[in-house]
Amino acid sequence: MTENFAARLGSAAPRGTTAPGLFVCFEGGDGAGKSTQVRLLTQLLEGRGREVVVTRQPGGTPLGSQIRQLVLHGDHVAARAEALLFAADKAQHVDQLIAPALARGEVVITDRYTDSSIAYQGAGRELGADEIRALQHWAVGGVLPDLTIVLDVSPEAGRARRGDVHDRLESEADVFHAAVRQGFLDLAAQDPGRYLVVDAALPVDEIHARVVKAVARIDAAASTAQGPR
Ligand code: TYD
């Protein structure tokens, strides 16, 4: 970690103790409906006067956009190269966008983060969840979401929802997507206080209501820890 990066993060301590902002992440298989929920939560929080930074991974920074092109649409990307490219995107993202926004006290909502790599590269590509978790947490300097919402979708429903356009990951067989799904559920089971798992087949409004409730809970906890904001 560079000195600047470390200074902005405060340290690599768990989130909630260092920066004043709120960090919320949406995760789930392809076609889970994350972007709709990101939009609804953003509108709600902005309506309440919060500064919200919305981002997605891979992408979200100039370097991230180039990595996105390489990793999602390149030919013959080896599994370990894929894992390293996703990690590089996260490192850039945290340094340029996420850590500065949290330090300013803003809300950051990200469409995918470290858990996507643990699920897709660790479980889906079978590179090992522990190895990919270590790589990803190193890449982001320990900056982890206050709340991760997993929109749980079956491979069949995900395929039906995303239609005919497929990137490299989306084109994988159902068995790959089933491993990814299990990867997300395993992560949530290991740390239930920091996760909300919602059935992606529920109506959009019902999912949103559950998300809002969970965000209010962690927001209240963060406010108590940091004083009013
Ligand atoms: P994207 O077009 O952003 O789709 P979605 O709407 O499903 O998020 O595609 C991102 C793809 O990259 C998706 O298939 C998941 C995959 N991915 C990884 O494999 N590892 C990662 O670390 C991240 C962030 C994404």
Whether the predicted pLDDT of 32 surpasses 50? yes
Whether the predicted pLDDT of 6 surpasses 50? no
Q: Whose CA is nearest to atom 24 of ligand 1?
A: 57
CA of 72 from ligand 1 middle (Å) equals 8
Whether the predicted pLDDT of 15 surpasses 70? no
**Cβ–Cβ contacts within 10 Å for residue 69, how many?**
12
**143-153 burial, b for 16+ CB within 10 Å, e for fewer?**
bbbbbbbbbbb
Q: Cα–Cα distance between 105 and 10 in angstroms, integer? A: 13
Q: Whose CA is nearest to atom 21 of ligand 1?
A: 117
Start-end of H helices in 62-201: 62-73, 79-93, 99-103, 114-117, 129-139, 155-162, 174-190
Whole-model pTM: value is 0.90
At residue 33, the 3 state secondary structure works out as coil
Tell me the domains of the chain and their CATH numbers.
Answer: 3-9+22-224 (3.40.50.300)
Q: Whose CA is nearest to atom 6 of ligand 1?
A: 30
Q: Cα–Cα distance between 133 and 138 in angstroms, integer? A: 8
Chain segment 189-217, per-residue pLDDT in tens: 999 999 999 999 999 999 999 999 999 99
**92-131 burial, b for 16+ CB within 10 Å, e for fewer?**
bbbbbbbbbbbbeebbbbbbbbbbbbbbbbbbbbebebee
Q: Cα–Cα distance between 107 and 190 in angstroms, integer? A: 25
Residue whose structure tokens are 């992440």: 25
Whether the predicted pLDDT of 36 surpasses 50? yes
At residue 71, the 3 state secondary structure works out as helix
To 5 degrees, how large is the angle CA 69–CA 201–CA 57?
A: 20
Chain segment 93-146, per-residue pLDDT in tens: 999 999 999 999 999 999 999 999 999 999 999 999 999 999 999 999 999 999
CB 20 within 8 A of CB 103: yes
- Residues with a CB atom less than 6 Å from ligand 1: 30, 56-58, 72, 86, 111-112, 116-117, 120-121, 167, 169-170
Output the pLDDT for position 19.
65
Question: Half-sphere exposure of 186 toward its Cβ, with a 13 Å CA cutoff?
Answer: 18
Q: Cα–Cα distance between 128 and 151 in angstroms, integer? A: 22
Chain segment 60-82, per-residue pLDDT in tens: 999 999 999 999 998 899 999 99
